[in-house]
Amino acid sequence: MTTFHCAVLVRPGSVTERVRIETDPAGTIVNIVTGVEAALGDVCLATVVPGFATAHSHAFHRLLRGTTHADGGDFWQWRDAMYRVAGLLDPPLMFLIARAVFAEMLVSGYTAVGEFHYVHHRADGAAYPARHAMELAIGEAAREVGIRLVLLDTCYLDGGIAAPLSAQQRRFGDGSAAGWLSRWHSLRDAIEGEGVTLGAAIHSVRAVSPAAMAEIRDGLDTGTPLHIHVSEQPQENIDCIAAYGHTPVGVLAGLGMLDPRLSLVHATHLTPADRALVGAAGCSVVMCPTTEADLGDGIGDAHGLASAGARIAIGSDQNAVIDPLLELRGLEAGERLSSGRRGRFPPAALLDAGTRAGYASLGISSTVLAPGDPCDLVEIERTSLRTVGSAADQLVLTATASDVGRVIVGGRIVAEGGRLTAGATGPHVLLAEALAAVAAA
């Protein structure tokens, strides 16, 4: 059993001093005692917040950071560049990239990641000789660095509504919903364990037909977290209405798929009726503010969705920025810019979005730092140039990833001072190795 003593513990809506957190050998919290001094053998931490979750990540998109800004364009132009990078991937390269990105996430304060993964096969669409080679490479990368991974294995069948997969997309597909389900069920037995679990995703209404979505709905366990890109671009809404007579949310509602286990990613261009449906169903909505800003997607109505009853989480998406605190600040900044009002999401609500809501979206835990929850913690420096003078409960609006100290996942210190504790490796070293391998590909 490991015991952590937090001088200050900041949870959504509360700040508590002198807190001891006791864990079992599996890194699960068994007891929390407040108002006590540190005891011999305690791991002593200063100011601590719950571990952050990026509930939506495409690790390999990190390769595009700093390379796509010179030519302008829009999301669709950026997507062409992304497809070119996807064409380079193989399992060894995927391992190097995922390991580097997951390491960067850890030292930045993310303790859990939902990896929305759709690059399943060889470039020609043929399966790898070693079954699940791509997926197992991602799982091994997460285990090596120590981040908690929910692999959101993604169904991607069509190149657009009623259109075949393009040559660039061929490696994403499994032929049919039945083919994807067969591979998904086999993958679960192969990948789960040691901090890795399997979730599911439908890429979008552009990539999976309503009939195929219904088949997936019926073929998954009801407890499996299910994610889907929704209304990231206005064109998706236009095409969906033309084909099906409904918005993407309307299609999902008609299939009976709007429920608390479903997470809608982006949800940038929803109608008022869409927002009401999503909120009434208690869905999660994973906003990715830094990506949505970088790609010029627009500002989604996070406040309206939360007010309607949706649970708001965050994702790093293309990983152009890996910093949960900047992601949360971007969420509130978008609200301020669109509404002209401050404090649309008070600090407690932002911390909840970055921690509890993300863990719930990924099916890890519905509470935060309570007995039975994983002991995932992040220490925040309160005397840096950015944070000195900040109230503990407002650090979420002043700190950045540069202020992250020790990071604990499952009761184990996995990062400290910008480095992984295993081998004291800096993520920049792993990133350089991955980029060199890409250049040689």
Grouped pLDDT means (10 residues each) for the chain, 441 residues: 95 98 97 96 98 97 87 82 90 97 98 98 96 98 97 98 96 98 97 97 98 98 96 96 98 98 98 98 98 94 98 97 98 97 97 98 97 98 98 98 98 96 87 92 80
- Which pLDDT does position 216 carry in this prediction? 98
Q: What is the pLDDT of residue 66?
A: 86
pTM of the model: 0.97
Of the residues 317, 352, 373, 376, only one is catalytic, namely: 317
Q: In what order do the strands lie in the sheet with 148-155?
A: 52-57, 110-117, 148-155, 196-202, 226-230, 262-266, 284-287, 311-314
Nearest to 380 by CA among 428, 312, 328: 328
Q: CB 426: neighbour CB atoms within 10 A?
A: 16
18 near 278, Cβ under 8 Å? no
Active-site residue among 56, 117, 203, 266? Answer: 266
- pLDDT for res 55: 98
Quick count: other Cβ atoms within 10 Å of Cβ 282? 15
What pLDDT does residue 299 have?
96
CA distances from 69 to 36, 243, 299, 333 (A): 52, 33, 20, 22
Structure tokens at 194: 């040691």
Sign for the pseudo-dihedral over CA of 100, 102, 105, 111: negative
Query: What sections of 127-233 are H helices per DSSP?
Result: 133-145, 177-191, 210-219
- Is 317 considered catalytic here? yes
Which residue stretches of 255-396 are H helix?
A: 272-281, 289-294, 302-308, 324-339, 347-354, 356-361
110/440 Cα distance (integer angstroms): 30
Q: How far is CA 177 from the centre of its chain?
A: 24
